[in-house]
Amino acid sequence: MKHSVALFTLTAALLLSLPARSADVDWKKVDAALGKTAAVSGEVHRYGLPRSDLRVTLDGIVIKPALALGGWVAFAPIHDEAMVMGDLVLLETEITPVMSKLLESGLEITAVHNHILRASPATFYMHVAGHGDPEKIAASIRGALSSGSKTPFDPPVTTAGPAPAVDLDTSKIDEAMGAKGTPNGGVYQFGIPRRDPVTEGGMSVSGALGGANAINFQSTGNGKAAITGDFLVTGNEVNPLIRALRAGDIEVTAIHSHMLDEQPRMFFVHFWADDDAVKLARAVRTALDKTAVAQH
């Protein structure tokens, strides 16, 4: 694995000496290969792979896909090739068949672990990385997920009407967080960037590539919310952060890495709570301020 990571880093560094132009990639072919349409952020094309087929409950709460089941893969162009990173949501029985297919295609697995606790059924998260022809990579990812899991690829059935509402006082949550959230599938989401960029293989890992603090709020009624997500921190920030979370009565559910060769070395701290939404937002902001986040 060390040789594989070193080769990936060297190749990415060499390719990065060339101009990175999204126009060099035929993104319509990548869309077709994956069976999804990308959300574009700058040069990064990100594809959502939510597990909308699953009914997952935690502490009696039915988890919306946008809260904790939102798998994804993102492509960043490197000349006429691309670097890919992603996070696939899988059931326990799906891990080995999906992993085997991805490895056969030349992609790398960078982590497999939980993000939350006590979920029924239990869900796991497989982080992937690689570089090469983005159309071929997209086809490999779809093939692995289609043969080894029940991850849906058909467009969701939509009915006329407004998007799912977020039954929370989002203005007060924004004020407590010191940032502006975004509604998505009935969940109120925050992406809080770090002050200094994280790089992987010499390339900046932006928010769209998984390089930001992700904080999600799902209403559980009467002004309360279930919250989960992950904080992106350096080693010396881990314990100040989790002490602040526990002081705010927020459960720490996992501490681990998602990448293999990032600089500086980063850890992801996952969490869970169900309480007054504004109270939790204040506690999350206090915890964030223990880390090197961008000024707000």
Same structural domain, 8 and 144: yes
Q: Is 68 left (phi over 0), alpha (psi -120 to 50) or beta?
A: alpha
Token pair in block for residue 248:
């705010």
Same structural domain, 64 and 118: yes
pLDDT of residue 126: 98
Is the residue at 21 inside a domain?
Answer: yes
Token pair in block for residue 12:
């990415």
Is the residue at 163 inside a domain?
Answer: no
Contact 108, 260 (CB under 8 A): yes
Least confident of 58-72, 135-149, 183-197: 183-197
pLDDT of residue 57: 98
Same structural domain, 144 and 276: no
Same structural domain, 70 and 174: no
Is the residue at 275 inside a domain?
Answer: yes
* Boundary-marking domain end, from 115, 148, 181: 148
Q: Taking the mean position of all CA atoms in its chain, how far away is CA 31?
A: 19
At residue 280, does pLDDT exceed 90? yes
Give the count of beta carbons closer than 10 Å to the beta carbon of residue 5: 16
Reported confidence tier of residue 8, pLDDT bands at 50, 70, 90: very low
pLDDT of residue 154: 82
pLDDT of residue 171: 97
Is the residue at 296 inside a domain?
Answer: no
Same structural domain, 206 and 120: no
pLDDT of residue 200: 80
Contact 243, 285 (CB under 8 A): no
Is the residue at 293 inside a domain?
Answer: no
Same structural domain, 144 and 175: no
| pLDDT mean across residues, the chain | 89
Reported confidence tier of residue 239, pLDDT bands at 50, 70, 90: very high
Mean pLDDT of 76-94: 92
At residue 158, does pLDDT exceed 80? no
Distance CA 16, CA 19 (A): 7
pLDDT of residue 295: 64
pLDDT of residue 23: 61
pLDDT of residue 162: 72
Token pair in block for residue 198:
């994280």
Structural domain count of the chain: 2
CATH number of the structural domain spanning residue 240: 3.30.70
Radius of gyration of the chain (CA): 19
Is the residue at 160 inside a domain?
Answer: no
pLDDT of residue 10: 36
pLDDT of residue 130: 94
More confident residue, 248 or 11: 248
Same structural domain, 87 and 129: yes
Is the residue at 294 inside a domain?
Answer: no
Helix (H, G, I), strand (E, B) or coil at 144: helix
The pTM for the full model equals 0.88
Same structural domain, 124 and 184: no
Same structural domain, 65 and 33: yes
102-143: pLDDT as tens digits: 999 999 999 999 999 999 999 999 999 999 999 999 999 999
More confident residue, 248 or 295: 248
At residue 92, does pLDDT exceed 60? yes
Taking each helix axis from N to C end, the angle separating 134-148 and 95-104, rounded to the nearest 10 degrees, works out to: 150
* Boundary-marking domain end, from 148, 182, 216: 148
Same structural domain, 87 and 176: no
Mean pLDDT of 80-106: 96
Which helix H or strand E contains 62, and what residues bound it?
strand 61-62
Same structural domain, 20 and 120: yes
For residue 193, say if its preceding peptide bond is cis, omega within 30 degrees of 0: no
Is the residue at 239 inside a domain?
Answer: yes
pLDDT of residue 1: 42
Which percentage of the chain shows pLDDT scores above 70?
89
Same structural domain, 100 and 178: no
Q: Hunting for tokens 């059924």 — which residue is that? A: 121
Q: Edge-to-edge, what's the strand order for the sheet holding 199-200?
A: 203-204, 199-200, 262-263
9-60: pLDDT as tens digits: 434 443 443 444 556 789 999 999 999 999 998 899 999 999 999 999 999 9
Q: Which domain holds residue 260?
A: 170-288
Kindly list the distances between the CA atom of residue 188 and the CA atoms of 71, 218, 229, 250, 281, in Å, as whole numbers in the listed order: 17, 7, 11, 18, 11
